[in-house]
Amino acid sequence: MRKLRAVLIEDETMFRQLILLTLGKVKDLHVIGEFGLGKAGLEFCLREKPDLLVVDLMLPDINGIDIARSLRRAVPEMRILVITGHPSERLPAELMAIGVNGYVDKTEPIEYVLSAVETVRSGGMFFASRVRGKGGIGAMLPSGPPLAVPLTEREKEIAKLVAAGQMSKEIAATLNLSVRTVEKHRANIMEKVGVREVASLTRWCIQAGLVDN
């Protein structure tokens, strides 16, 4: 696994140091920049294009959501992990909608940051918060309003079956399609949703209201 170049933007000095110590435990990860202000961190990321950004939501000069939105447009391949001490039920869905890969509540154990980094590094999504939504404590599952669903009706059918744990052969038999057609649909679904593995697609389907939690 190649070296992961990471940037940290966090205005609270003690918490920034704690995050840095935690990131230091991640194998093959190198923090190339740390910032207490958002604008300086954003400019650095636009220039250096790191693989991963860990950013606080509430910064003195610019909102973390604005930073994430700017970087998602300018550097779409960058992984973005948001941390905050001000969670809300709607926040995870809002972050997913703009393409954030992960979200960790500061009240959670610091080890959650490690898990989040490893998950988003491998192409997954990690959402953890103690905010109570309709499904209770949302450990790795965002709550809030359903996401917009950029899928065709056929893709929705297949996404639901994939989330239910069915293999391509089973889906093909259920929908009277060829396995090759199902595989093509699965690839299109993954690309549209922006995930790479079934667990993340399942979480997305739940948030989008396609399947029940």
For the stretch 163-172, contacts whose Cβ atoms lie closer than 8 Å and that sit 24 or more positions apart, written own/partner, are 163/198, 163/201, 163/202, 163/205, 163/206, 163/210, 163/211, 164/211
Q: What is the pLDDT of residue 129?
A: 54
Percentage above 90 pLDDT, the chain? 44
d(CA 19, CA 139): 20
Q: Residue 171 maps to which CATH number?
A: 1.10.10.10
* Predicted TM-score of the model (pTM): 0.64
Mark the ranges of the chain whose per-residue pLDDT is less than 50.
Answer: 130-146
Q: What is the pLDDT of residue 37?
A: 96
**Can you name the residues that pair with 127 across neighbouring β-strands?**
103
Among 106, 59, 107, 98, smallest CA distance to 80 is for: 98
Supply the range of the domain harboring residue 58. 4-139
Domain end among 112, 139, 166? 139
Domain end among 139, 170, 188? 139
The answer on 86 and 31 residing in a single domain is: yes
Question: pLDDT for 21-76, tens place per residue?
Answer: 999 999 899 999 999 999 999 999 999 999 999 999 999 999 999 999 999 999 98
Contact 143, 101 (CB under 8 A): no
Contact 56, 12 (CB under 8 A): yes
Tally Cβ neighbours within 10 Å of residue 53.
Answer: 26
Q: Residue 114 maps to which CATH number?
A: 3.40.50.2300
